[in-house]
Structure 1
Amino acid sequence: MAKLSLFDRRRRRVRTALKARAGGRPRLSVHRSGRHIYAQIIDDAEGKTIASASTLTKGSKGPGATCDAAALVGKTLAEAAKAKGVTAVVFDRGGFLFHGRVKALADAAREGGLEF
């Protein structure tokens, strides 16, 4: 068995804790790259994406690797989720630390009306 990277260990730990407390709620999954940030709300029971937003979608302005851009993605995602009738989610940060762009996205999604 190969040794896991710290990122992969964090991802497994987060996902395990997330499954334990999900309670049938959809999952808000975040992926952060060097240039962009992506977020989607996924219904794991059906295996379908309910809503998604990223710095690559239409209407996003400026560079994608900033906290302001991440906050705009969070706000956009919250609006899309509310339009589909989703208000409560569980936050899946993957193996990313809850800091900087990931935190900005989460805070904006909360301000937009999502509960987690």
Structure 2
Amino acid sequence: MIQAADLREWRDQDVLDTGGHKIGVLEAVYVDTTTDETAMATVRTGLLTRHRLLFVPLDETIAVPGYLKIRYAKSLVRKAPSIGTDDVLPAEQGAAVFQHYGLAYEPGTRGERQLARR
């Protein structure tokens, strides 16, 4: 598993899909609040004046010099929930990110969010 501290060093590096197609660049890392392990990242996509941040899971991510390769296809990632570059993910939308990728969403025992930006 790639640690959050390591991934921060990859900020602004390209993120590629399973076929080697560029999706965008790594913007931020999110950890699972129950385990404090890396869970998701946001990938910056779009034109210079209209960027958005797409959420991608980091399970099975491969880090090599110059880029990160995720296990999801670009077509799936492009349809993922997104936020503006100055926005934060509202707690009530966290489940939608996990659902989009077919992953289980488990909020904390008191209903706290599962994802936190690091």
Task: Please identify which structure carries the higher strand content.
Answer: 2
Q: TM-score, normalised by structure 1?
A: 0.32
| Max Rg structure | 1
Task: Please identify which structure carries the higher helix content.
Answer: 1
Q: TM-score, normalised by structure 2?
A: 0.32
